[in-house]
Amino acid sequence: MIDPKLLRDSPDLVRAAIAKKHLAVDLDAVLALDTAWRAAVQEVESLRGKQKAANTAMAALPKGSPEFQANVAEMKAVSAQVKEKETALKDTEEKWRHALLTVPNLPHASVPEGRTPEDNVIHALHGNHDEPRPHALPHWEIPGFDKLYDFPRGAKVTGAGFPFFIGDGARLVRALLNFFLEEDVRAGYTEVSPPILVNAASATATGQLPDKEGQMYETTPDRLFAVPTAEVPLTNFFRDEILEEAALPVKRCAYTPCFRREAGSYGKDVRGLNRVHQFDKVELLKWVHPSTSYDELEQLRDDAARLLQKLELPYRVLLMCGGDMGFGQAKKYDLEVWAAGQKRWLEVSSCSNFEAFQARRAQIRFRAKETGKPELVHTLNGSGLAVPRVLAALLENNLQADGRVRLPAALVPYFGKEFLSFS
């Protein structure tokens, strides 16, 4: 949530931010509700002041006197007014808060202009993605692929996009997750195993609600949501809490299965492991001091990139343009690996700075050492990493003439073998 004071004082700045993200928001309606809410607050406070003054006057009058009785009648009338206006205020405040949730975060000044993925800027390129790989195939065309990654039976049991991982296929996923977590812990993150169902308050705090209802799986009658990413439970760990300034930055990592409807996805980009409804991912999350948050974003991106380097995967870093960045982020980098069989880039991590946008919704603060007053932290998160597309790139880039897949040296201790075989 953006600062309401910023919205009041600098509406044109907020309009420009919305335009840079190419989002449709009725800002005039939000401003009108803000004005109505503040007027309602003032009216209620004025009536409460009148009520308090009448109480004070009554205390000085003899009980039973005509003046006392007149004040009693006035008090009853004022009390009825206060009750009526408080009910109206509550309704107006609810509408005002809901309207504020429709206003996106402001993009950082360094975010490039643009509307589509084609407008994103290549920030860095690592490895030689043009290196000849004569045996590369799209991973779903590798002979024996379906013996380790069974999509038809997953569709039978649950639905499309819920594959079975079998034998060494499952073992390789576990190896990747263990590798990711061990490397993240070495980089200073504390491992957490969070819940994989969250309530609506948690999803609202991180910006999934009211923006992404159609992408999440919801339970009934409890109205709990299967996590689309561990970002949601991790961020809410400190919801409604105040940290000490000396504790910042706090760095956590977590593995969870992730669940996404991926509504509207179709075509060649969703084949095989490219886009599934349930997948495994390790998330990196930081709560940081506002003065260091952009330095922390660069470090977060480097922490995710280091994993790809150790896996010997060519990758590129994109600085996302305003129109392709998302509702809540102030700045975002995407990391994409090269999949030689498909001859295309696959996103495996997004590293984002939300500044105080999530922290204001979740009321996550720190106590400033100088003033002793609570201030909002900045939150950052990134994938470290998502398994399916990393796995797809490993299978395609390292496919050998004999049909086996050579595994990078960093992964061998976790998998126990140098090659993955489909036979």
Residues known to be catalytic: 260, 275, 347, 350, 389
Using CA atoms of 194, 200, 202, 203 in order, give the dihedral in degrees to the nearest 10: 90
* Beta-carbon contacts of residue 115 (< 8 Å; ≥ 6 apart): 22, 321, 322, 323, 324
Residue 362 CB-density burial (10 A; 0-12 exposed, 13-18 middle, 19+ buried) = buried
Using CA atoms of 209, 210, 211, 214 in order, give the dihedral in degrees to the nearest 10: 80
Residue 382 pairs in a beta bridge with 284, 351
- Residue 95 φ then ψ, to 5°: -65, -40
CB 200 within 8 A of CB 223: yes
CA 45 to chain centre: 38
Determine the Cα–Cα distance for residues 409 and 226; give it in Å rounded to an integer. Answer: 35
Determine the Cα–Cα distance for residues 310 and 2; give it in Å rounded to an integer. Answer: 38
Element (H, E) at 74: helix 66-100
Which among 402, 392, 403 has a CA at the least distance from the CA of 144? 403
CA 348 to chain centre: 15
Determine the Cα–Cα distance for residues 86 and 40; give it in Å rounded to an integer. Answer: 8
Determine the Cα–Cα distance for residues 342 and 385; give it in Å rounded to an integer. Answer: 20
Determine the Cα–Cα distance for residues 155 and 22; give it in Å rounded to an integer. Answer: 36
Determine the Cα–Cα distance for residues 310 and 316; give it in Å rounded to an integer. Answer: 15
C-beta atoms surrounding 236 within 10 Å: 23
Angle at which helix 168-186 crosses helix 387-397, to 10 degrees, equals 110
Which among 245, 248, 205, 199 has a CA at the least distance from the CA of 226? 199
CB 392 within 8 A of CB 128: no
